[in-house]
Chains A and B, each alone.
Chain A
Amino acid sequence: MAMKTKKRGKNRLERNDRLVRLALLVIAFSAVSVLLVITVFIVQQGTPIMFKYGLKSFLAGGNWYPSEKVFGLWPMIVGSLFVTAGALVIGVPFGLACAIVLTEFSSKNVRRVIKPIVELLAGIPSVVYGFMGVIILVPFIRQTFGGPGLSVLAASIVLGIMILPTIISISVDSLQAVPPSYREGSIALGATRWQTVKMVLFPAARSGIIASIILGMGRAIGETMATIMIAGNAAEIPRSLLAPVRTLTSNIALEMSYATGEHREALFATGVILFIIIMVLNTVANATSSRRRRQP
């Protein structure tokens, strides 16, 4: 009898623990299945029309006249790529410079000031960035270089600033993860700090830095509100840096409010393309950074 009660007591405990574990697993799984649900919905809404009009004309078609049922996404794809490339040209050097200064060339006190400022940069709403672009940058470009001002150049600069926090924080993490012995070893051999950064730290932190750039790229491609406000939104392939441009994200956001029927489906199809690009970038970033984690 005594055995029996004890058994029951223990089973109760174990059942409770198993119940909690199960409940948490369900929570964790439902949290992440959001990703699955999003994928399903976007794909389900967006793919039929792509196949109806042919994948090739959808992706490679140069004209977007939704009212005439002409859905060519090529200008937007090119637009997103241009703007993203431009953002990287601006964001990567400045981001890496900040990361190096923060980890290698500054005192603790300086770091204590700069780091929160960089974090603040990430917190500013994208509409505010877009607004600053419209108020300051666009007129400046119009007056200095000509053209409408709303342009690839303006969008690149603003997005370049917006991806800085991503690049900085992940690069700082990976630079700090380099074992101190590497740094000390190099300094002990008589290398200057800059040589140490160039020859030792950068190669050692390479995969983390690449991951930071890829994630920054993802942010630039995905940015919507700022791009709408400053890129000009003309649905044609830009001929120069000063020409207006429309990105995949802007395409969705600009027309979603009034689109119906096939037009709306075509916007979801735009979402599918964007989604695929982002998932590819995420997977690549994940693979590079997990390789870094496995070989410290």
Chain B
Amino acid sequence: MKRLGPRVEQKVAQAGLWTMTLVTVGVLLFIIFFILRRGLPVLSLEFLTANPADMGKSGGIFSTIVGTVALSFLAILIAAPLGVGTAIYLTEYTWGGPLTRVIRFGAECLAGIPSIIFGLFGFILFVTKLKFGWSILSGGLTMAFMLLPTIIRTSEEAIKSVPPAYRTVSFSLGSTKWQTVTRVVLPSALPGIVTGIVLSVGRSIGETAATIFTAGSALRMPTSIFSSTRPMSVHFYILAREGISMSNAYGTAAVLIIAILGINILTYYLMNRFIRKYS
């Protein structure tokens, strides 16, 4: 390699790097096409609206869709106010200092904790200690904790990108801090904050390890937040791992992938609008 001239080396490096990038992109596209090609033929209105029968061997996946939606909804309901509130505190109400550093470090660490640890924790606290049992409530609370760091970080970024001049103007017009935050900063940061929340929904849809120990895996239609439920991701895992029904597994995976794709497109769209607004 040493003998090569810089131009040749450049060519070789560029070709190598591009090949690796294309392999990466290729792998992803392959996964998506593979799942969709085998899963889409399974999809039908009936598959989506019928409840699973015979352990999932036949029937549809309606109750698992309901489970996924219920878990994500509850998780977001808890995590969004907490996360956005934390972000507001970190960006607007503090000038740094040890307490802020502790909070920020905590949030960063929380982001790195594997979902299985969240699962263990949720199992011991919500399922056993608080006696919520395997339920939507236990699963939703556990998942809310998992989503917190993402929501905190994206909200913080969104709030920080609001031009500081807006705040100065608002204060100079005699607004209180609270008015400035709620009437000027948050409306401007809203698309960014929503993007973060939508991103978290995406994460919660795919989550398996944390929910399987907290929400359980009952296939029945949940009737309250104290019902155990089996979200799509767990259903897919059980169908595939126990070899119950490959075609239903593909169908479930396809629904998951389509949901994730939709959410990514939505965040991308929101983010672009947000960026265009401030540049």
Interface residues of A (CB under 8 A from B): 13, 16-17, 20-21, 23-25, 27-38, 41-42, 45, 93-94, 97-98, 100-102, 105, 114, 116-121, 123-132, 134, 136, 161, 164, 191-195, 197, 215, 218-219, 221-225, 229, 249, 252-253, 256-257, 267-268, 271, 274-275, 278-279, 281-283, 285-286
Chain B 252-279 residues near chain A, CB threshold 8 A: 253, 256-257, 260-261, 263-264, 268
- B108: chain A residues at CB < 8 Å are 282, 286
Q: How far, in whole Å, are A207 and B152 apart by their CA atoms in the complex?
A: 24
Contact across chains for A28 and B35 when beta carbons are under 8 A apart: no
B149 closest partner in A (C-beta): A31
Which residues of chain B in 78-103 are interfacial with respect to chain A, using CB atoms and an 8 Å cutoff? 81-83, 85-86, 88-90, 93, 99, 102-103
Contact A282 B112 (CB under 8 A): yes
Residues of A within 8 A of B23 (CB): 94
B76 nearest CB across to chain A (Å): 14
B121 to A120, Cβ gap below 8 A?
A: no
Nearest Cβ on chain A to B216's Cβ, whole angstroms: 10
Q: Which of A28, A98, A274, A281 contacts B20 (CB 8 A)?
A: A98
Q: How far is the CA of A278 from the CA of B120 in the complex (A)?
A: 15
Q: Contact between B89 and A271 (Cβ–Cβ < 8 Å)? A: no
User: Do the beta carbons of A105 and B14 come within 8 Å of each other?
Assistant: yes
B65 within 8 A of A: no
Residues of chain B within 8 A (CB-CB) of A195 are: 6, 9-10
Closest to A132 in B: B31
Compute how far the CA of A261 lies from the CA of B95 in the bound complex, rounded to whole angstroms.
Answer: 48
**Binary A-proximity of B179-221 (CB < 8 A = 1, otherwise 0):** 0000000000000000000000011011111001100000000
Given A20-B178, A100-B17, A127-B208; A249-B93 close (CB under 8 Å)? no
Contacts of B236 in A (CB 8 A): 125, 127-128, 131
How far, in angstroms, from A20 to B180 measured CA to CA in the complex?
A: 13
The 3 closest A-B pairs by CB, nearest first: A222-B114, A125-B206, A32-B106
Interface size on B, residues (CB 8 A): 81
**Which secondary structure dominates chain B's binding surface?**
helix
Nearest opposing residue in chain A for B144, CB measure: A34
In the complex the two chains form, what is the Cα distance from A100 to B107 in whole Å?
29
CB interface residues, B 3-62, toward A, < 8 Å: 6-7, 9-10, 13-14, 16-18, 20-21, 23-25, 27-29, 31-32, 34-35
If A116-B264, A225-B237 touch, whether A194 touches B14 (CB-CB below 8 Å) is yes
Interface pair A35/B109, CB less than 8 Å apart: yes
Contact status B117-A275, CB under 8 Å: yes
> Shortest CB–CB separation between residue B275 and chain A, in angstroms?
12
The one of A30, A118, A128 that contacts B256, using a Cβ cutoff of 8 Å: A128
Question: Which B residue's beta carbon lies closest to that of A25?
Answer: B89
Let me know if B120 and A121 touch, CB within 8 A: no
Residue among B108, B209, B213, B233 with the highest chain A CB neighbour number at 10 A: B209
CA of A17 to CA of B114 in the docked complex: distance in angstroms? Answer: 38
Q: Kindly report which residue of chain B lies nearest to residue A45, judged by CB atoms.
A: B124
Chain A residues closer than 8 Å to B107, beta-carbon distance: 31-32
Indicate if B125 sits at the interface (CB-CB under 8 A).
yes
Report the separation of the CA atoms of residues A164 and B9 in the bound assembly, to the nearest whole angstrom. Answer: 26
Query: What residues on A are CB-neighbors of B99 within 8 Å?
Result: 25
Are A34 and B85 touching (Cβ within 8 A)?
no
Residues of A within 8 A of B93 (CB): 20-21, 24-25
Q: Can you list 29 A-B pairs, Cβ within 8 angstroms, ordered by A?
A: A17-B178, A24-B86, A25-B89, A27-B82, A31-B106, A35-B113, A42-B120, A97-B17, A97-B20, A98-B20, A101-B17, A105-B17, A124-B32, A124-B257, A125-B206, A125-B256, A125-B260, A126-B208, A127-B236, A128-B31, A128-B256, A131-B253, A134-B240, A218-B112, A223-B114, A224-B208, A271-B120, A278-B113, A282-B108
Q: Using Cβ atoms and an 8 Å threshold, which residues of chain A touch B88?
A: 24
Q: A128-B206, A278-B117 are in contact. List 11 more A-B contacts (CB 8 A).
A: A24-B86, A29-B103, A42-B124, A101-B20, A116-B268, A120-B28, A124-B206, A134-B240, A192-B7, A219-B114, A229-B241
List B contacts of A136 (CB < 8 A): 34
Q: A30-B82, A127-B237 are in contact. Are A41 and B260 (CB under 8 A)?
A: no
Distance in Å: Cβ of A93 to nearest Cβ of chain B: 7
Write the chain B residue with the least CB distance to A32.
B106
Say how far B234's CB is from chain A's closest CB, in angstroms. Answer: 8
Q: Which residues from B are CB-within-8-Å of A131?
A: 236, 240, 249, 253
CA distance A236 to B106 in the complex (A): 35
Task: Give the nearest-CB partner of B88 in chain A.
Answer: A24
CB within 8 Å for A101 and B85 given contacts A124-B31, A278-B117: no
